[in-house]
Structure 1
Amino acid sequence: MSDTHYFVAAVLPQEFKQHIERYYSILKDALPFQRWVHPEDLHLTLAFLGKSGQEQLQKLVHDLNLLLQEKQAFSVTLHGLSTFGKVTSPRVLWCGIKRKDELFSIQKAVYNICTQNGYALDQRPYSPHITLARKWLSEEPFRENTPVASAFTEEFSYKIKIKEIAIYKTCLNRTPKYNPIHKFQLLT
């Protein structure tokens, strides 16, 4: 096994990725983070797997296919910006997702399949979000209620249709760095 990591995530529609890319220049000017997530790398994580052998991945693909072939596509609603880490110097800037039963149901089922396949997953409660940037750079403290953040929150309170789930492979030496190695279509 290499240092390659894998995760299972809801695939975000291309139109959302293009839409958010238009806001990146505004956000980047107002919110100085070290690394911004490439628009093609935007996703909604369901389970972080870490390292994996090919046999284990093949079994997971089989089991997730059985699980997801009967699941319906669903919508999620974006809900504001927030952070992880120190309030004044956060390590992650993210866009929240309003609670949606369908999302939590699929995440729980995916989580259970992953643990049954031998993956040691995070035990914390699921907190759905889309990571936008990492590592605050400014000497000035971060402020969540800036005019830019408020405008972003108002603009991004809309629904995204989730039609696919994927297993992604992390390729640290590439941009974009997340490569979907298997996609599962949800029923529409």
Structure 2
Amino acid sequence: MIRAFLGLELPQHIRSQLVLRQYLLPLQRRIPPENFHITLVFLGDSTLPQLEDLHLALDRLVVPALQLQITGLGLFGKDKPHNLHAVVAPDDGLVRLQAKLVTLARNCGFVLKPRRFHPHVTLSYLRAGSFDRGELEAAVVRDAQFRTEPFAVQEIALFRSVLRPDGAEYDVLERYGPAQGAVSAKGQNL
């Protein structure tokens, strides 16, 4: 079984801006910048036949070019915050792409948990007792005006997620872009 998800990689200059933002926040544990991404569909534990079927479907998908932007910070977990993230501005094209990917994944035999799509980039997973809630909420409010410039995204990635004691490690198995089909993580057409 391979723990996998579909997502969007971020350009290096956006990663750099998020790293700077992380270090201005009162956090004990930060997500490493190489793990920054926007999750589109969490596939969970996947079999090779499922991933092969999904690969064939994604290879035929034309990925639209998107212009995305980070617009502020947010917290998931109302009474018990557990995730601090950068918010991705609403984008109809992104919502349509995500819905299409959910349908493709289900058609390939993936059983997906129903989740509302809230595009974001996780900056820190929060553990109870590891942060001062008032201080963190004040920092999120203070950074409400944080914005990146719009950035282009033209391909989606199939990520593998390996759980380690110090956090998850992600690597790209395949990339799918506008009409060129799958590109391996080494940049060669498959």
Return the TM-score normalized by structure 1: 0.83
Q: What is residue 65 of structure 1 aligned with on the other side?
A: 59
Residue 183 of structure 1, CA deviation: 0.6
SS at match of 1:177: strand
Q: Which runs of 5+ in 2 are unaligned?
A: 180-190
Give 2:16's aligned residue.
18
Unaligned runs of 5+ in 1: none
Relative distance call for 1:14 and 1:145 in structure 2 (3 A) is: same
Aligned residues: 178
8 Å Cα contact 1:6-1:50 kept in structure 2 = yes
Cα RMSD (Å): 2.4
Deviations 1:108-166 (A, max 9, x none): 111100000111112122111111101144463345652x4345332325322112200
- Is 1:41 aligned to 2:35, yes or no? yes
**Structure 1 residues 5-37: Cα deviation after superposition (integer angstroms, max 9, x where no partner):** 10000121122112222332222xx2x34x321
Structure 1 stretch displaced more, 123-132 or 107-116: 123-132
1:132 equivalent in structure 2: 123
Distance 1:139 1:26 in 2: 14
Q: C-alpha separation between the residues in 2 aligned to 1:20 and 1:139?
A: 19
State the alpha-carbon separation in 1 of the partners of residues 97 and 157 from structure 2. 13
Report whether the alignment pairs 1:172 with 2:163.
Answer: yes
Deviates more, 1:98-107 or 1:74-83: 74-83
In structure 2, the residue matched to 1:182 is 174
Q: For the Cα contact (< 8 Å) 1:169–1:179, is it kept in 2?
A: yes
Q: Does structure 1 residue 54 correspond to structure 2 residue 45? A: no
The residue that corresponds to 2:187 in the other structure is: none
CA contact (8 A) 2:161 2:168 kept: no
CA distance in 2, matches of 1:140, 1:96: 21
- After superposition, the C-alpha distances for 1:21-62 in whole angstroms (9 at most, x for unaligned) are 2332222xx2x34x3211011111110000111121111111
In structure 2, the CA distance between the partners of 1:172 and 1:41, relative to structure 1 (3 Å rule), is same
**Shift of residue 170 of structure 1?**
0.7
User: Retained in 1: the 8 A contact 2:71–2:86?
Assistant: yes
